[in-house]
C-alpha cells in the first residue's frame, strides 16, 4: 500500500483520485503508526514552508518520515513536499526543514514581467536519461506548477529535472529511493499520470500496481 500523508496540508483528494484512477492501492494516513502497513509514502503539500514543518511536527510525522527515508524506502514528495526535504527556506527564515537533502529553498527573483507565483504549465527537462520516474514521459513534457519558491540543492547530483522560468531551476530531485517534484503530477494529465504509474511500478519492484 502507498500511504498518502495527511498532515493538514496538501492535495490529498487529487492525489488519492489519481492513484485510484491508475489502480494503485493507496490510502490517506493521518497517524504515523499507519506507515507500518505501507510500502511507499507520498508527501503532498500546498501552502507555506513554515506551516508545513509545523504541521508535520505537531502530528508526529517529521521523525518518522526521516527514518523512512534513511531506510531507503520509496518516497514521493510533491510541491511543498519537495521543499520540506531541504534544510531551510527563504519563505520561513529560522524554520528548519527535514534536512534530508542539503541546500535551501529560494524565492524567485526574476524579471518583473514574469508573475510570481508561477502558476500554470511549464516544461520539465530531464537531468539524466535513465531516471525511472520519467520512463515513458517525453523529455520537455509540460507539467502543472503553482509556486513562488524553488529548491536549490547543494549537490547537483540530486537534480533529476529542471525548468526555465526566468532562471533554470531544479524542479525534480532524486536521491536513492527519494523522488520529489515541484510540480503537481496529479494535475498534469497524461505526463503526470505516467509519472505516478512509474512510482507504482517502482514500489512493486519493476511492474504492476502497488
Q: Tell me the C-alpha to C-alpha distance, in Å, between residue 65 and each of 31, 118, 137, 148, 178.
A: 12, 28, 28, 25, 11
- The yes-or-no answer on residue 186 being catalytic is yes
- The yes-or-no answer on residue 184 being catalytic is yes
At 112, list the grid cell. 518583473
Picking from 134, 147, 115, the residue whose alpha carbon sits closest to that of residue 47 is 147
* Residue 55 near residue 9, CB atoms below 8 Å: yes
- The yes-or-no answer on residue 55 being catalytic is no
Picking from 47, 6, 45, 73, the residue whose alpha carbon sits closest to that of residue 186 is 45
Picking from 10, 9, 67, 11, the residue whose alpha carbon sits closest to that of residue 38 is 67
Task: Say if strands 88-89 and 75-78 run parallel, antiparallel, or are unpaired.
Answer: unpaired
Catalytic residue among 55, 79, 147, 170: 79
Give dist(CA 177, CA 184) in Å, integer.
19
Grid cell 531544479 — which residue?
A: 170
Catalytic residues, which ones?
Answer: 79, 184, 186
Amino acid at each position: 500500500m502507498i500511504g498518502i500523508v495527511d498532515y493538514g496540508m496538501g492535495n490529498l483528494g487529487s492525489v488519492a483520485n489519481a492513484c485510484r484512477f491508475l489502480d494503485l492501492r493507496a490510502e490517506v494516513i493521518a497517524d504515523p503508526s499507519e506507515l507500518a502497513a505501507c510500502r511507499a509514502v507520498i508527501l503532498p503539500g500546498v501552502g507555506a514552508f513554515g506551516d508545513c514543518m509545523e504541521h508535520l511536527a505537531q502530528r508526529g510525522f517529521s521523525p518518522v518520515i526521516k527514518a523512512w527515508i534513511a531506510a531507503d524506502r520509496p518516497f514521493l514528495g510533491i510541491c511543498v513536499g519537495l521543499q520540506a526535504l531541504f534544510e531551510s527556506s527563504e519563505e520561513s527564515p529560522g524554520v528548519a526543514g527535514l534536512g534530508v537533502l542539503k541546500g535551501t529553498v529560494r524565492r524567485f527573483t526574476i524579471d518583473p514581467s514574469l508573475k510570481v507565483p508561477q502558476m500554470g504549465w511549464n516544461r520539465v527537462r530531464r537531468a539524466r536519461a535513465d531516471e525511472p520516474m520519467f520512463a515513458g514521459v517525453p523529455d520537455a513534457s509540460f507539467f502543472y506548477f503553482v509556486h513562488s519558491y524553488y529548491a536549490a540543492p547543494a549537490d547537483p547530483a540530486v537534480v533529476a529535472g529542471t525548468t526555465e522560468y526566468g532562471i533554470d531551476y531544479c524542479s525534480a530531485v532524486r536521491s536513492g529511493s527519494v523522488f520529489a517534484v515541484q510540480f503537481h503530477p496529479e494535475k498534469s494529465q497524461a505526463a503526470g499520470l505516467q509519472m505516478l504509474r512509474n512510482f507504482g511500478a517502482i514500489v512493486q519492484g519493476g511492474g504492476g500496481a502497488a
